[in-house]
Copies of this chain bind each other. A is one copy, B any other.
Amino acid sequence: MNAPIPAQISCADCPIRHRAVCARCETDELETLETIKYYRSYEAGQSIIWSGDVMNFVGSVVSGIATLTQTMEDGRTQMVGLLLPSDFVGRPGREGAAYNVVATTDLVMCCFRKKPFEDMMVRTPHIAHRLLEMTLDELDAAREWMLVLGRKTAREKIASLLSIVARRDASLTPKGVVNAMTFDLPLTREAMADYLGLTLETVSRQMSALKKDGVITLEGKRRVTVPDMARLLEEAGDDSDGGFLG
Contact = CB atoms under 8 A, between A and B. Distances in A.
Given A128-B128, A128-B132, A136-B135, A147 B80 contact: yes
Contact of A197 (B78, B81, B149): B149
Contacts of A197: 149-151
A80 to B, nearest CB: 4
A50 to B, nearest CB: 15
Interface stretch (A5-13, A91-99, A162-170, A204-212): A91-99
Interface in A105-129: 121-122, 125, 128-129
Contacts of A78: 146-147, 150-151
A222 interface: no
A224 B99 CA distance: 32
Contacts of A152: 76
Please indicate which of the listed interface residues A80, A91, A133, A143 has the most CB atoms of chain B within 10 Å of its own CB.
A143
A31 interface: no
A4 B138 CA distance: 37
A237 B72 contact: yes
A150 B142 CA distance: 12
Contacts of A68: 143
A131 interface: yes
Nearest to A144: B70
Please indicate which of the listed interface residues A70, A147, A197 has the most CB atoms of chain B within 10 Å of its own CB.
A147
Nearest to A196: B150
B76 A140 contact: no
Contact of A135 (B76, B99, B132, B147): B132
A157 to B, nearest CB: 10
Given A122-B125, A129-B128, A133-B93, A145 B146 contact: yes
A122 B129 CA distance: 8
A143 B142 contact: yes
Given A78-B146, A98-B143, A139-B142, 15 more contacts: A70-B144, A72-B237, A72-B239, A76-B152, A78-B150, A80-B147, A92-B132, A122-B129, A128-B128, A128-B129, A132-B132, A142-B142, A145-B146, A149-B197, A150-B196
